[in-house]
Amino acid sequence: MNRMWIALIAVLALIIIPWVGVGAAGLTLLFGVGIPYIACLIFFVGFIYRIVSWAQSPVPFHIPTICGQQKSLPWIKANNRESPHSYWGLFARMALEVLFFRSLLRNDRAELKQRQRLIYSSNRFLWAGGLLFHWSLIIVLFRHLRFFTEPVLPGIAFVQNLDALFHVGLPALYITDVAIIVGLSYLFLRRVIYPQMRLISLPSDYFVLLLIIAVVLSGVLMRHFFKIDAEKAKELALSIASFRPVIPTAIGLPFYIHLFLVSILAAYLPFSKLMHAPGVFFSPTRNLKNDSRARRHINPWSYPVKVHTYEEYEDEFREAMKEAGLPVEKE
């Protein structure tokens, strides 16, 4: 079966679980408190486990990937951004990568055109789609802090007002809600439309995208179409966050679907490719300075190797070398 369909069916099955569990069986305590707590536990233990195991992995070789002149002689112009030799250069390169996905700007497309000639061209769509999605997600999550804090943290109302700047609809449509849907749609469709992307995409690639799309759509739908009791949702969120869970009263089925999908996402995250977010900080190709001309990096795994020097060789074979007419250094 097509890999995308496997992922789609899995996500649809996940939507049906709370639908039946809350809508038909009325298991609000399980879906409102039990499952979110279990998911948080799996998330924190799994996340910390992955981070600790990465932090403990040896990095025996000095392997930053660079594309600029390394610092060497004073009259050769060094490029501290592309080939950082100082901590400031490293920090700047890392910040540009993490905040603006700078290396994705160099994304190329290779296509067979004009009588089978391979043509390379720049492709900025992945960069734009990725940036749109990640930045919108950060803002959506930041706005969500209003459900977990009372009084609401300063700055949240400001961001919320800015995000609803155009005052379209009631409740107002957030710019980031539109942006995140556009970004996610592009990221998903490129894996469906381009044959090369279809070939390399696994069910897990589609699954994470579809799961995040389902979380976002369920959130948007319950804000604008299938109304929920947001006050009660906040009561529940606050009670969970303060470890004094209350038995949730009628909040609305869409909320439980949203919360269940978020719980699955949280529990799955430490075992998925979504760990690229903290992983980038542990990547030795990114987090090392390129100072191998200024400093000798010794592999800590190197052990003293027994060598046979030329002097020793000559001492051993001097007479035979002389007999054969070969030149020797010492008579």
Chain contacts with ligand HEM (rule: CB under 6 A): 140, 143-144, 147, 174, 177, 215-216, 219-220, 222-223, 230, 233, 237, 255, 258-259, 262, 265
Q: Which one, 127 or 256, has the nearer CB to ligand HEM?
A: 256
Rounded least distance, CB 38 to ligand HEM, Å = 14
Least separation in angstroms between CB 228 and ligand HEM: 6
Q: Kindly state the smallest distance separating residue 219's Cβ from ligand HEM, in Å.
A: 2
Q: Is 83 exposed, middle or buried (0-12, 13-18, 19+ CB in 10 A)?
A: buried
The C-alpha atoms of residue 117 and residue 104 are separated, in whole angstroms, by: 25
Of 191 and 258, CB closest to ligand HEM: 258
One-letter identity of residue 94: M
How buried is residue 286: exposed, middle or buried, by Cβ count under 10 Å (0-12/13-18/19+)? Answer: middle
DSSP E strands in the chain: the ranges are: 108-113, 117-122
Smallest distance, ligand HEM to C-beta of residue 217, A: 8
Nearer to ligand HEM, 237 or 288 (CB): 237
**What is the nearest approach in angstroms of ligand HEM to the Cβ of residue 206?**
18
Q: Determine the Cα–Cα distance for residues 210 and 199; give it in Å rounded to an integer.
A: 18
What are 76's two structure tokens? 């050769």
Nearer to ligand HEM, 263 or 290 (CB): 263
Local structure of 310: helix, strand or coil = helix
CB of 246 to ligand HEM, least distance (A): 13
Instruction: Copy the structure tokens of residue 60.
Output: 């025996």
Nearer to ligand HEM, 90 or 228 (CB): 228
Q: How far is the CB of 145 from ligand HEM (least distance, A)?
A: 10
How far apart (Å, rounded) are the C-alpha atoms in residues 22 and 45?
Answer: 28
Nearer to ligand HEM, 25 or 141 (CB): 141
Torsions phi, psi of 287, nearest 5? -95, 10
**Single-letter amino acid, residue 272:** S
Q: Cα–Cα distance between 170 and 165 in angstroms, integer? A: 12
Let me know how long the chain is.
Answer: 331
Q: Which residue is nearest to ligand HEM (CB)?
A: 219
Nearer to ligand HEM, 104 or 145 (CB): 145
Give min distance, CB of 120 to ligand HEM, in A: 36
Cβ neighbours of residue 272 closer than 8 Å, sequence gap 6 or more: 204, 208
> Closer CB to ligand HEM, residue 21 or residue 219?
219
Dihedrals phi, psi of 231, to nearest 5 degrees:
-60, -45
